[in-house]
């Protein structure tokens, strides 16, 4: 853990956010909110996107389209004091799900450590930054390069995911383990990560909420205000078996799903909206009656206990239904046993009987509050 260093001081401090997200994506992740908060605190912000390559074109990933709409490998002025840089390479580190292939591609993965070299304007900005924040993705491989050109900055690892659960390349996971103690702060969003990163530099800091957006008045977007409405927002691991059982058992209720999900369950009370701009989802969350945190099990899925969508559900007072393996110690989830019709039906009935929560829990914080902790500890 770094200590006793003097951080860069200037009239307008600079911050670099290193993430797998594109600034102009419909999916607004925590790093988008942290960037906006830093701008409000008079920082000059560089939103540095990694994990962009032709692999996304091969996978038909949504980021391939974003790459085609964005100027690559150069600093772009977005607005005000916000800049972006998309580091696009031919390949980026992925897990090939085969030990032989992972070993074969290891030189390519290691090469990614030097992917920022040679970009003068980019590295000048990095060298002048007072704050550098990494997300959980292969961009962690840039740590040593950045540390070499800027040893004065405050280095923060804002953990977004368990990379073991995401099955990242083993070299990337090993690299995370090797550098974790060198961060000034390891900021984790749920208690699950305290066991993975038990160091003295680790602090539990939940995701934030944009109170201004969620406190606005919106028109009810639902066509039938009288029905009980479940909502899901997300892009992966959705439990379609839960949806099949619950939608059939409660035909009078509605189930609304936002995100790039396959339409597997059909019914007059099931509604798929596809990938939707975040701002358009807010009224649907506010006017829903319950939040679905209904995910299938993958190793490490317990880390989703306090995900960004959960914070949004909680802030809006929605009771939350989730599989039994996802537990929240600060907010009651209505748990069900995956695949068990009796358990699912009971959980739905208990949830509907309990209704909304009227008081916002104390642990809910704004993005400004979280960002302040990233800056100051």
Chain segment 211-226, per-residue pLDDT in tens: 999 999 999 999 998 9
Chain segment 123-139, per-residue pLDDT in tens: 999 999 999 999 999 99
* Contact criterion met (CB below 8 Å) for 239 and 295: yes
CA-nearest of 191, 102, 140 to 18 is 140
Chain segment 222-247, per-residue pLDDT in tens: 999 899 999 999 988 999 999 999 99
Q: Cα dihedral angle (108, 111, 113, 116), rounded to 10 degrees? A: -120
Secondary structure tally for the chain: helices H, strands E:
15, 16
Using 50, 70 and 90 to split pLDDT, how confident is the model at 59? confident
* Contact criterion met (CB below 8 Å) for 206 and 330: no
Chain segment 272-328, per-residue pLDDT in tens: 999 999 999 999 999 999 999 999 998 889 999 999 999 999 999 999 999 999 998
State percent of the chain over pLDDT 70. Answer: 97
CA-nearest of 131, 51, 47 to 87 is 51
Measured between alpha carbons, how far is 5 from 101 in angstroms, rounded to an integer?
A: 42
State percent of the chain over pLDDT 90. Answer: 85
Quick one: tokens of 241?
């078996």
Question: Mean pLDDT throughout 343-348?
Answer: 98
* Contact criterion met (CB below 8 Å) for 259 and 232: yes
Q: Is the pLDDT of residue 4 over 60?
A: no
Chain segment 174-188, per-residue pLDDT in tens: 999 999 999 999 999
Using 50, 70 and 90 to split pLDDT, how confident is the model at 9? very low
* Contact criterion met (CB below 8 Å) for 124 and 85: no
**Per-residue confidence (pLDDT) for residue 235, from 0 to 100:** 86
Q: What domains lie within the chain, and their CATH numbers?
A: 14-205 (3.40.50.11010), 213-354 (3.40.50.2000)
């Amino acid at each position: 853990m770094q200590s006793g260093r003097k951080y860069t001081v200037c009239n307008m401090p600079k911050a670099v956010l290193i993430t797998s997200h594109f600034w102009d994506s419909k999916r607004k992740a925590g790093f988008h909110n942290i960037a906006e908060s830093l701008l409000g605190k008079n920082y000059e912000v560089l939103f540095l996107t990694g994990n962009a390559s032709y692999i996304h074109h091969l996978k038909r990933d949504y980021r391939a389209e974003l790459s085609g709409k964005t100027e690559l490998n150069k600093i772009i002025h977005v607005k005000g004091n916000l800049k972006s840089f998309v580091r696009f390479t031919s390949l980026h580190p992925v897990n090939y799900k085969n030990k032989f292939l992972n070993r074969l591609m290891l030189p390519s993965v290691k090469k990614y450590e030097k992917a920022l070299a040679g970009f003068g304007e980019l590295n000048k900005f990095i060298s002048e930054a007072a704050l550098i924040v990494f997300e959980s993705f292969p961009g962690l491989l840039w740590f040593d390069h950045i540390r070499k050109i800027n040893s004065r900055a405050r280095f923060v690892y804002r953990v977004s995911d368990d990379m073991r659960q995401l099955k990242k390349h083993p070299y990337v996971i090993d690299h995370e383990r090797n550098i974790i103690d060198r961060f000034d702060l390891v900021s984790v969003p749920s208690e699950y990560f305290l066991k993975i990163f038990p160091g003295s530099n680790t602090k539990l800091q939940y995701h934030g909420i944009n109170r201004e957006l969620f406190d606005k008045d919106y028109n009810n977007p639902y066509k039938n205000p009288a029905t009980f409405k479940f909502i899901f927002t997300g892009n992966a691991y959705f439990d379609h078996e839960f949806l099949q059982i619950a939608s059939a058992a409660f035909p009078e209720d509605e189930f609304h799903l936002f995100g790039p999900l396959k339409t597997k369950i059909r019914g007059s009370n099931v509604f798929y909206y596809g990938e939707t701009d975040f701002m358009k989802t807010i009224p649907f969350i506010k006017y829903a009656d319950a939040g679905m945190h209904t995910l299938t099990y993958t190793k490490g899925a317990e880390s989703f206990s306090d995900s960004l969508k959960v914070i949004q559900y909680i802030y809006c007072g929605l009771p939350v239904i989730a599989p039994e393996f996802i537990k929240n110690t600060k907010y009651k989830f209505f748990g069900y046993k995956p695949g068990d019709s009796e358990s699912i039906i009971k959980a739905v009935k208990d949830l509907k009987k309990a209704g909304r929560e009227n008081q916002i829990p104390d642990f809910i914080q704004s993005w400004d509050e979280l960002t302040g902790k990233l800056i100051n500890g």
